[in-house]
Amino acid sequence: MKDNIIRAYGDTYNDGKIQLSFTFPVKQGLKAAEACKRYCFKLGLEDVEVVHMKDLKEGFTFFVVYAVSKESVNLDKITVAKIDTEIMDYYKINDYIKEKINRKINVVGACTGTDAHTVGLDAILNMKGYDGEYGLERYHEINTVNMGSQVANEKLIETAVKIKADAILVSQVVTQKNIHIKNLTEFVEILEAEGLRDQFILILGGPRISHELALELGFDAGFGSGTKPNEVASYIVQKVYKDSILVKGGE
């Protein structure tokens, strides 16, 4: 195999070794172990070893599996769109707003449509934040409105207009059924139809969101899992500043 085509690495190049763990709704026993193996074969895995099996009671069994996957990816065929603003910390961001923008930044966020998963939204917005980084609510230079889950697109836009939002954060768990994609497209379409699209920085976040997908859907930026609040805040404040210079026609 060429160096640009890769597989998972265990201890030998391109051996394809992976580990996984999951639970089956079945009582522990030989049958459970065999079911686990067959399931892994169906997932396209080979050399399946069920190294650990634990009875979780109430008819559930937990498995730890090592196996080999022959699938590979070609690095040459991958291009990733990147957000290229500088990442600042909590203090720097507040200072940046005070010094360069000289007014508070308004941000509204929601999980839209039927989505009830607020973990990601809260990680970015809640005071507590995520992985030791404070959320946007904690920033004294940012007014944050967290609308929570299952917010209709119209309601979110209405609120954004009301609070004169600089940025709208949409958090979404994209499922295979793609209903969420449709909802996201609709969101951008409403903004465009009402002539509001250029008033806001549109940010999309979620575990399966990439910057590229966000751009494709008409957002300004996309953030995937592991994103820290300061990364989002850094992007927002620099974009607000940049846009303000554009409007003024340069400093």
Partner 1 sequence: MNNKLDLDQKLISLCRNYTKSIADKVEKKIVNNTTTSVERTVLRFLGVDGVDEHGIPLPNVIVDKVRNEQKLNKGISYWFGNGLIQTGLPAQRLAEEISEGKIDLFSLPKEKNKDIIEFILEISEKKSEQIKQQVKKREMMQSKYPLGLKPWLYVIVATGNINEDVKQAKAAAREGADIIAVIRSTAQSLLDYVPYGPTTEGFGGTYATQANFKIMRDALDQVIEEEKRYIQLVNYCSGLAMPEIAQMGAEERLDMMLNDAMYGILFRDINMKRTFVDQHFSRMINAYAGIIINTGEDNYLTTADSLEESHTVLASQFINQELGLRTGLKNEQLGLGHAFEINPEIKDSFLLEIAQAQLVRQIFPDAPLKYMPPTKYMNGDIFKGHLMDGMFNFASIITDQSIQLLGMLTEAIHTPFIQDRALSIENAKHVFNSARNISSEITFNSNGKIQKRADQVLKETAELLKVIAKKGLMQSLSEGIFADIKRPIDGGKGADGVIKKDIDYFNPFAEVFSKELEIKDER
Q: Minimum distance between the CB of residue 68 and partner 1, rounded to whole angstroms?
A: 21
What SS3 class is residue 224?
coil
What backbone phi and psi angles, to 5 degrees, belong to 211?
A: -60, -40
Among the listed residues 54, 70, 98, 128, the single catalytic one is 128
Residues interacting with partner 1, by CB under 8 A? 21-23, 54, 56-58, 60, 62, 116, 118-119, 123, 127-132, 138, 148-150, 225-226
Which residue, 115 or 220, has its beta carbon nearer to partner 1?
115
Q: Minimum distance between the CB of residue 132 and partner 1, rounded to whole angstroms?
A: 5
Q: Minimum distance between the CB of residue 125 and partner 1, rounded to whole angstroms?
A: 13
The residue ranges of DSSP E strands in the chain, in sequence order, are: 5-6, 17-24, 45-57, 60-69, 73-74, 105-111, 142-146, 167-171, 201-205, 221-223
Indicate if 239 belongs to the active site: no
Which residue, 57 or 82, has its beta carbon nearer to partner 1?
57
Which residue, 16 or 129, has its beta carbon nearer to partner 1?
129
Helices (H) and strands (E) counted in the chain, each on its own, are: 7, 10
Q: Minimum distance between the CB of residue 248 and partner 1, rounded to whole angstroms?
A: 35
Which residue, 106 or 227, has its beta carbon nearer to partner 1?
227
Please tell me the distance from the alpha carbon of residue 64 to that of residue 87, in angstroms, as a whole number.
38
- CB environment 171-191: b (16+ within 10 A), e (fewer): bbebeeeeebeebbeebbeeb
Residues taking part in catalysis: 128
